[in-house]
Amino acid sequence: MSTSRSGATRTLRQGGKAFGHRNYRLFFTGQAISVVGTWMQQVAQGWLVLELTNDPIYLGLVSAIAFSPVLVLGLFGGLVADALPKRQTLMATQAIQMLLAFVLFGLAVTHNVQVWHILVLAGLLGITNAVDMPTRQAFAVEMVGRDDVANAVALNSAMFNGARILGPALAGLAIGVFGIPIAFLLNGLSFLAVIAAYSLMRVDDLHLPPRRPRPGSIREVRQTLAEGLRYVRHTPVVLLATVMVGTVSTFGMNFGVIVPAMARDVLHTDATGYGFLMAATGIGSLTASLGIAFGGRPRAALISIGAVILGAGLVVAAAIGVFWLALPVMAVVGFGAVSMAATANTTIQMAVPDELRGRVISVYTTVFVGSTPLGGLIVGSIASRFGVHASLFVGGIACVIAGGLGILWMRRIRADEASVRRERAAELAAERAAEGAAAN
């Protein structure tokens, strides 16, 4: 009994290593509050767009415009992440996003909001995310150091997905009682928590890498960006993670785009039911995140396995027309999505050298988030023309195929690594034999 208890204690201690750092505790607390607000706004905005347009293609269009700047500017965001102090950069991006939330609240509460307002604000949010996302990802190692960065990434994912449960559920209830604008107001206020957290951090406790000189010409900018791209291209496991995330994000991770239409037109529920559908995906996502956080360093093979689970869940969801049956299926979808994405993130974080971290992470975030515009339009267009069921089915099959090919690719990488190890062992043995012969 004592052995099992001590084993459980070690597991808990390992799963919360990053909390040993004061700066990370501040970050986690502030970010948790802010992400709840973000999920509340996402649910409210999706329902508002559907009310204004009555066409799911606009859900895809909003998503496309929100994430297109990341596709165009994401690599430059990584350049900013490596060149500027990350904490101050994040405070600036969060302040801008807070302002955008308050503008949307003002438009909605005065009943002046139109679809084009939402599209413009989504585009401005995307521009700030092009800098915020790679900077925030790269900031993790500065808060906790390389030894605890894998745990920090997993805990970040757990926090994000815990908010994914609470935020949509709160949004559904709040919209039902107070109306849509309240979600935008609460999101704006939630940014105060994360800005305060960054302000209270101890700069002396940060694990700051050597500051790179800022590029002074267009040629130097190109060379700096190319350095990060070359690393991704020539590091097989990082390339696998990036390609898998891009493919699955395009076809499967956009399920959130059509969930409002699925809730209203297929499951015949309201905004509260929509919020609980999104919360169900959050339960599955949180389960996957905690499994990664407390299970030690995840295996890269989980990237492809997660894609298969996600795809299978979407295929099953395409055949469901009953609300209470859809809830556990959406939990499976969330589990697969985060198993893939969090493992890919951790794999890259552990592989990349500090001096390239911002640029390599920006490649990952550009592919991950930048694939959303294309995927959102594909998913929204299929749902608009052929129905929600067809959209879910096509996305699910694409993810299953991508995951299967990823499993084969991972086996090839492992085989190549084993071959290299054998060659090195043979060379070392030959050198030792030659040294022995010379000594005799």
Task: Determine the pLDDT at residue 396.
Answer: 92
Residue 1 within any structural domain of the chain: no
pLDDT digits (tens, 9 = 90+) for 64-77: 788 777 777 766 76
Number of domains in the chain: 1
Residue 307 within any structural domain of the chain: yes
CATH number at residue 378: 1.20.1250.20
pTM more than 0.95: no
Which of 218-227, 269-278, 382-391, 430-439 is the most confident on average? Answer: 382-391
Q: Taking the CB of residue 277, how many other CB atoms lie within 10 A of it? A: 27
Residue 433 within any structural domain of the chain: yes
Q: What is the mean pLDDT of the chain?
A: 82
Residue 367 within any structural domain of the chain: yes
Q: Which bin fits 387, alpha (ψ -120 to 50), beta or left (φ > 0)?
A: left
Q: What is the residue range of 429's domain?
A: 20-202+229-439
User: 295 exposed, middle or buried (CB, 10 Å; 0-12, 13-18, 19+)?
Assistant: middle
The span from the CA of 208 to the CA of 118, in Å, is 38
Residue 223 within any structural domain of the chain: no
E-state strands within 255-313:
none
More confident residue, 12 or 141: 141
Residue 12 within any structural domain of the chain: no
Task: Determine the pLDDT at residue 14.
Answer: 55
Q: Give the DSSP H or E segment for 181.
A: helix 181-200
Residue 214 within any structural domain of the chain: no
| In the chain, % of residues over pLDDT 70 | 86
Residue 106 within any structural domain of the chain: yes
pLDDT digits (tens, 9 = 90+) for 259-301: 878 888 888 888 778 778 888 887 888 888 778 767 666 677 8
Q: Of 355, 344, 373, 345, nearest to 72 (Cα)?
A: 373
pLDDT digits (tens, 9 = 90+) for 296-333: 666 778 889 999 999 999 999 988 888 889 999 999 99
